[in-house]
Structure 1
């Protein structure tokens, strides 16, 4: 027994993570929001704003090419098509999924539960398959030496314990560094209020947008008569009888209730909750079609650029570093790294790209820093012969820039004077 084991609270050899099973959490009430609505990741996806945010992030991560790259001696890198992980990440991670589908699932799991798990099918020290695991069936155990093990429960109820080397674990933001924070639990108040607001409006429409009322009388009503009256009123105002005259007899009086100020602000509340959910998931509201004010083409382009930089960029970097650490971790993987190619999403208008490429080719007299073939690759065009050389700087008009006079040379115009 080591010295650290004698400290208070160190007698246990393991620390177990909480299960991500929403049924377990609902049973203990840890997911019930103050609005009185239980919030689980399954219920959260029923909220259109949550699903739209997840889809926007997932599409941005899944549609961008993800490749294994090989470092070049003189700097930079090139696609390592011969590496076994290249096909797994870029085309076929397993027998039933595409690369797009795997990354889409990764985002849905990691963004909602804070954790995405994949079983690594390793053959001859190389990852040949990535098999996704339902986060709700995984329990993480951290040992005293800070190593992790994963207990996975199958559909038949049996479980198996796997070492850290056999699980690719992509974590979201984390407090304890070994489990991602559950985004749904952290934002359960905003999501719960959104669910409650949707339920309230749905009930209003189910009732034909009829306001409630009071059915009163000066007579004393027995409990059994009270039940009969309730059923009778429900039959009068429900189903096919909606909006039909309400027949009242026996001295009873119906008093219609008016809409309150809270009801009048219902739509504004729903708009505000949309923004709250977007803030929790890190998505600009404009990206899911919620624009607080009209946008011009210029402002829309800046919003799209901000979405790429501030929403998708961190997810790209998180996944890239996780791949480098957990999938390219063998000695034979030295010099290889993963890379998202985001050029397709960062393309501007034709005019803006033309100006950028002109300067990159040395137009205006400045030194060129891109070759024609590099630019053609960005535009998904095939290379051309002689296009791998940096062009000489040119003037704005297209003519080559004049050579600098040699030291001591005189201007010919001065000789004619």
Structure 2
């Protein structure tokens, strides 16, 4: 019997449970001031939201994650290849995902909804699988004893309750200490306005962008004639596929073009402003979603990429590491010097010229070995390059001999 088969013969939820409230809480579901009922699905259709979530997810999924063991006496560390958690986090967490896809899924959940949940499948006390859960099907409750319980509901409506020890709960920034704040809810007005702007702009294009002009004919028209003329124009001239085609009308019809108003220009400016608002809510640099002002240069863009690595991605790495340490490592593991670590130093290495200067100064000063630099550049080690160089002016030698007294 598979783990998933054992996981879903849950007991039916009681009539008093309101899962609609849970879904509404997790996926927004509230009408914004712009008149948009926002859900996770509609939010992810906003390209700025989609890109912000994927940028964070990419920064977590594509950076290697290892489990190290540090020797308390020597301070040296090594990859804990003998620990089962390394394979789960770095290679294969479950039967259908690799480690990159697994971390990507968790990162998308926590970046958009503030919380991600994983069922920890233990066999004889050892973690054998990590199974990601749909956040919409998890309800968290805190009891009078301050202990958390997790109720997971299947697609068939069957629910089962799990203790906190069985669930890896990855939280974003939290106000109440036990549930992460939901960016989708906190930024719903900015996202909702963006959806409304997208909808209104799309409606302009539906019939050939905005009304670019108006037709006028001589004499009066009956209601039937007006309906016929309107239908004929919509059939032969409206829509993007008719753009540029000539239109022939009788009765001395005249065409009066209309120009874009200041309101229309402000509409476009508001759409650009909403990109910045959404990026601000997710803590992502606008340049990372393909938006930049005309004043940006290559040098300033490079500093923005560095700021993104330091202020956006690195805090998420540390959040994942702390959560893994607390939830997936036992106290005995921690006492033995085991800890998880994202190898994110490569995000800060800069351009090839900067790296070359960094390696040169480190090797010349004696604190960096040449094979270490080769390893960072994904090159094989060479014989004789594993010893540090000792600059002549830094070599500790014998004190100078004193001349005998005459």
- Spell out, residue by residue over 1:237-294, the C-alpha distance to the aligned partner (whole angstroms, 9 max, x if none): 4243327659698xx9999876432212222111111111100111000111111124
Matches within 5 A, 1:5-404: 20-22=22-24, 31-73=30-72, 74-211=74-211, 232=228, 235-242=231-238, 259-334=260-335, 335-361=337-363, 363=364, 366=365, 368-394=366-392
RMSD of aligned residue pairs (Cα, Å): 3.3
Q: Distance in 2 between matches of 1:344 and 1:311?
A: 15
Question: Given the two structures, how large is their TM-score scaled by the length of structure 2?
Answer: 0.83
State the number of aligned residues: 379
- 2:402 corresponds to: 408
The answer to whether the 8 Å contact 2:71/2:77 transfers is yes
The answer to whether the 8 Å contact 2:27/2:40 transfers is no
Following superposition, the deviation at residue 386 of structure 1 comes to: 4.1
Following superposition, the deviation at residue 330 of structure 1 comes to: 4.4
The answer to whether the 8 Å contact 1:69/1:78 transfers is yes
Q: Distance in 2 between matches of 1:103 and 1:18?
A: 28
For structure 1, the 5+ residue unaligned runs are 1-15, 411-417
**Per the alignment, do residues 312 and 231 of structure 1 end up closer, same or farther by CA in structure 2, a change over 3 Å counting?**
farther
Secondary structure at the aligned position of 1:120 is classed as strand
Following superposition, the deviation at residue 20 of structure 1 comes to: 4.6
Following superposition, the deviation at residue 173 of structure 1 comes to: 1.2
For structure 2, the 5+ residue unaligned runs are 1-17
Secondary structure at the aligned position of 2:127 is classed as strand
Q: Distance in 1 between matches of 2:229 and 2:367?
A: 80
**Per the alignment, do residues 352 and 114 of structure 1 end up closer, same or farther by CA in structure 2, a change over 3 Å counting?**
same
Q: Distance in 1 between matches of 2:237 and 2:214?
A: 18
Following superposition, the deviation at residue 214 of structure 1 comes to: 9.1
The answer to whether the 8 Å contact 1:211/1:258 transfers is no
Q: Distance in 2 between matches of 1:184 and 1:355?
A: 43
Q: Distance in 1 between matches of 2:85 and 2:21?
A: 30
- Spell out, residue by residue over 1:121-152, the C-alpha distance to the aligned partner (whole angstroms, 9 max, x if none): 11222211111111001110100111101000
